[in-house]
């Protein structure tokens, strides 16, 4: 949207998720071009020029767009497999299938993952892609192109694996890269695609997969590469008790101590899961500013455990929410993670004080922006920030009698989305994508899922 053209949203409840938790029972938001120009209680200021659209948000809650901090798009075409496995057994079952992916499969899976998130209120997402079979084309460019076409703000976490079965890892040897190839391809992806500007739609992070699929050299050199190029770092960490045991057996120390020894703690780092963290681990994350992508549904699906999110937040650890791959979270939606984060954490030792609805919403918005290093740009509704926001309908049968709109959003049924904006451009209208054909995406993902299953069965 041109910088001098304005959209005015009026008469809706607003949860800004700013530092003060400011909310308006009935207020307005003015978008000018790609930015939020103003917002407040009551009616929008009179005399605004170049207003091209007015939206009556009566009966709606307006929030920042949701920010997804951990995902694996390619898994969209392997949903519903190995449903009763723990993480390591699940990986052993699925790595041989994933190793057969090709560019058309990855493109279809990315579009499926992106579409499901966009129609559910996600305006910024990431993809941790680490499976690069030889001779399958430029998968990074394919994924980035799919996000660009969908109109979602995006971080590609360019993953890698170089520890195959012969080196004591879980992936089959034909599914991993060499150390040099992984580093070179990651650097090339950063140089070609990373945009460091304020309103960037595409960024790239350096993201070796996990301690049990990556050599110590790739971890260490990957961290050095990221800092030389000025980009963020991402990996899996402390997800299961089996991983804890693996790290002690292989490295003689737990995951957090291992990460610190390889340069993988810092304000430019975020890790997925972090379920099995002791007090000293949490203190190390807080001391270094290392972020966490909390994935409650995936953690439950794989029986990994309950992450100590209340303790992390109390210590000052940045925490956001993640869908995780849809082979371990078949819904592929982030707004359900608001509810699940609250409910799952109340099963832990903090019980009813673990999280409330507003803290859950903060995890899915501002917390995610912190974790991705973009808290000055997105994650809250404030003048000067990017115009990424969602209008959730709260006057339906499912929500109209819930006393508080934020509670309705977090604990109620999934709320219909009337409008979702990224950079001031509307990408969802009345629950449907404006940037893609959902039926065509569904057909293509079904076709590619069946093709992959056939190839894997005859491998």
DSSP 8-state symbol, 68 = B
Asked, for residue 232, whether it belongs to a domain, the answer is yes
Residue 220 is encoded by which pair of tokens?
A: 């260490």
Q: Is residue 451 part of a domain?
A: no
- In 3D space, the residue among 268, 266, 341, 285 whose CA is nearest the CA of residue 310 turns out to be 341
Q: Do 436 and 148 form a contact (C-beta atoms < 8 A)?
A: no
- Residue 164's pLDDT is 86
Give residues with Cβ within 8 angstroms of 248, minimum separation 6.
Answer: 254
The answer on 336 and 260 residing in a single domain is yes
Same domain, 420 and 319: no
* Token pair 């978008």: residue: 31
**What does the DSSP assignment read for 371-433?**
HTT-TTTSSS--TTSB--EEEEE--STTTTT-S-HHHHHHHSSPPPEEEEEETTEEEEETTEE
- Give the list of residues 6+ apart from residue 272 with CB closer than 8 angstroms, or none: 69, 70, 128, 234, 235, 236, 237, 239, 292, 293, 295, 322, 324
Note whether 312 and 387 are same-domain residues: no
Please check whether residue 385 is in contact with residue 422, taking contact to mean a CB–CB distance below 8 angstroms.
no
In this structure, the answer to whether residues 180 and 52 fall within a common structural domain is no
211 & 286 share domain: yes
Say whether both 53 and 126 belong to one domain: no
232, burial (CB in 10 Å: exposed 0-12, middle 13-18, buried 19+): buried
**Euclidean distance between the first and the last CA atom of the chain, given in angstroms as a whole number:** 49
Of 352, 371, 390, the one marking the end of a domain is 371
Q: Does 267 reside within a domain?
A: yes
Mean pLDDT, contiguous 10-residue spans, the chain (459 residues) = 82 98 98 98 95 97 98 97 92 91 97 98 98 92 98 98 86 87 98 98 97 94 98 96 90 96 98 97 98 97 96 98 95 97 97 98 98 98 98 97 98 97 98 97 98 92
Predicted local confidence at residue 2, as pLDDT: 56
Q: What is the pLDDT of residue 349?
A: 96
Give how many domains the chain has, as a whole number.
2
Verify that 87 and 207 share a domain, yes or no: yes
Range of the domain at 226: 66-371
Q: In this predicted structure, what is the pLDDT of residue 175?
A: 79
Match 């995406």 to its residue by tokens.
441
- What would the two tokens of residue 297 be? 């549904």
Do 239 and 182 share a domain, yes or no? yes
CATH classification at residue 18: 2.30.40.10
Instruction: Check whether residue 297 and residue 251 sit in a common domain.
Output: yes
């Amino acid at each position: 949207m041109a910088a001098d053209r304005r959209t005015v949203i009026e008469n809706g409840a607003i949860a800004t998720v700013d530092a003060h938790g400011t909310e308006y029972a009935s207020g307005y938001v003015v978008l000018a071009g790609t930015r939020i120009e103003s917002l407040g209680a009551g009616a929008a200021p009179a005399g605004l020029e170049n207003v091209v659209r007015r939206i009556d948000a009566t009966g709606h809650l307006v929030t920042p767009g949701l920010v997804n901090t951990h995902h694996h798009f390619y898994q969209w075409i392997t949903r519903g497999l190995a449903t009763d496995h723990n993480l390591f057994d699940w990986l052993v079952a699925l790595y041989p299938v994933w190793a057969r992916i090709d560019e058309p499969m990855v493109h279809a899976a990315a579009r499926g993952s992106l579409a499901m998130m966009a129609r559910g209120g996600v305006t910024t997402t990431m993809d941790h892609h680490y499976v690069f079979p030889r001779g399958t084309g430029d998968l990074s460019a394919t994924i980035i192109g799919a996000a660009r076409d969908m109109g979602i703000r995006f971080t590609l976490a360019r993953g890698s694996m170089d520890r195959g079965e012969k080196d004591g890892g879980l992936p089959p040897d034909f599914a991993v890269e060499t150390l040099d190839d992984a580093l070179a391809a990651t650097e090339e992806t950063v140089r070609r695609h990373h945009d460091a500007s304020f309103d960037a739609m595409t960024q790239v992070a350096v993201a070796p997969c996990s301690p049990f699929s990556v050599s110590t050299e790739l971890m260490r050199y990957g961290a050095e590469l990221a800092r030389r190029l000025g980009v963020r770092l991402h990996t899996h960490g402390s997800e299961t008790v089996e991983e804890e045991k693996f790290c002690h057996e292989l490295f003689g120390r737990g995951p957090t101590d291992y990460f610190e020894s390889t340069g993988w703690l810092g304000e430019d780092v975020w890790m997925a899961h972090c379920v099995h963290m002791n007090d000293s681990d949490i203190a190390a994350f807080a001391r270094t500013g290392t972020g966490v992508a909390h994935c409650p549904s995936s953690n439950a699906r794989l029986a990994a455990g309950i992450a100590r999110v209340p303790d992390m937040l109390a210590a000052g650890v940045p925490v956001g929410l993640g869908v995780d791959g849809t082979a371990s979270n078949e819904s592929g939606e982030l707004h359900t993670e608001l509810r699940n984060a609250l409910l799952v954490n109340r099963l832990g030792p903090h019980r009813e004080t673990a999280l409330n609805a507003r803290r859950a919403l903060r995890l899915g918005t501002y917390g995610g922006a912190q974790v991705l290093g973009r808290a000055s740009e997105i994650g809250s509704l404030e003048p000067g920030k990017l115009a990424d926001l969602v209008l959730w309908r709260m006057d339906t049968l499912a929500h109209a009698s819930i006393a508080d709109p934020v509670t309705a959003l977090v604990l109620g049924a999934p709320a219909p989305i009337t409008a979702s904006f990224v950079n001031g451009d509307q990408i969802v209208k009345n629950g449907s994508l404006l940037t893609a054909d959902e039926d065509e995406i569904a057909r293509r993902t079904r076709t590619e899922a069946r093709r992959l299953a056939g190839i894997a069965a005859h491998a």
